[in-house]
Amino acid sequence: MGAKIRKYQPGEEQVLYDICLLTGDSGADASGLHQDPALLGEVYVGPYLRFAPEHALVGVDDDGVAGYVLGVPDTVAFEAWCERSWWPDLRVRYPLDSFPADSPDGGIVRLIHNPAVASPDVVERYPAHLHIDLLPRLQSQGMGRKLMTALLDGLAATGAPGIHLGVSTANQRAIGFYRHMGFTEVETYTHSLVMARAL
Ligand SMILES: CC(C)(COP(=O)(O)OP(=O)(O)OC[C@H]1O[C@@H](n2cnc3c(N)ncnc32)[C@H](O)[C@@H]1OP(=O)(O)O)[C@@H](O)C(=O)NCCC(=O)NCCS
């Protein structure tokens, strides 16, 4: 049986957290960088599954779930929900001094206490946002396109006029993929870009 895409099912949180870590270093395996294997997933996977499970899709092959795309139609509403319902518990579990300040885990803990907020200019035109990650075994076979297309269709159906995403400038492969999928650069930072497209 070839790989296919389907909706995320409750109970698949752990494998999605694992995929997040295994692709978390600008597309490469970040497990050597993090002492705590759940931290990246707690920021980039968990809140999406809780807030908008209907926009969580997975790629599955014979060995199981090996990729995902996660999105929210309204980033401002998502950020407000995280402030109320996601960050408070994590801030208790991970105090600011949980890890050395200059370690990758320390950087994620700072994000939990002081989350990134999308800029008003971007969310006005492109209110939705997304994350996509496939394990190497699922890459370069058209699954990224399939997951992205299905996500964009689902978000467009909510009436959202546009979508943005953040990507590390070190991840040139992903930047090429996003350009190919119709995204253009809308903001440039030292180590990252924001890219966006209409829905
Ligand atoms: C980036 C990623 C999502 C792309 O998914 P993929 O399944 O490998 O890509 P696909 O095979 O579906 O490619 C889709 C299309 O994009 C094109 N494409 C892919 N990468 C490209 C690149 N770097 N430059 C130009 N085009 C590219 C493909 O040729 C294909 O074109 P076609 O459908 O018109 O024939 C995937 O490789 C991945 O998850 N990488 C690791 C995690 C990661 O970096 N995530 C992004 C974090 S911001």
Round to whole Å and give the CA distance between 130 and 183: 12
What percentage of the chain has pLDDT greater than the value 90? 99
Ligand 1 centroid, distance to 87 Cα (angstroms): 31
In the 8-state DSSP scheme, what is residue 25?
B
pLDDT of 1 > 90? The answer is no
CB 91 near ligand 1, within 6 Å: no
Question: Could you read off the pLDDT of 157-186 as tens digits, one per residue?
Answer: 999 999 999 999 999 999 999 999 999 999
In the 8-state DSSP scheme, what is residue 29?
-
CB 75 near ligand 1, within 6 Å: no
Contacts 24+ apart (CB under 8 A), 173-176: 173/27, 174/26, 174/27
pLDDT of 156 > 90? The answer is yes
Residue 167: what pLDDT?
Answer: 98
CA distances (Å), origin 1, targets 8, 57, 64, 66: 19, 19, 12, 14
Ligand 1 centroid, distance to 130 Cα (angstroms): 15
Q: Residue 116: is it exposed, middle or buried by C-beta count within 10 angstroms (0-12/13-18/19+)? A: exposed
Residue 14: what pLDDT?
Answer: 98
Tokens of 106: 């320390």
Give the ligand 1 atom nearest the CA of 141: 11
Residue 71: what pLDDT?
Answer: 98
Give the ligand 1 atom nearest the CA of 168: 48
Give the ligand 1 atom nearest the CA of 174: 1
pLDDT of 2 > 90? The answer is no
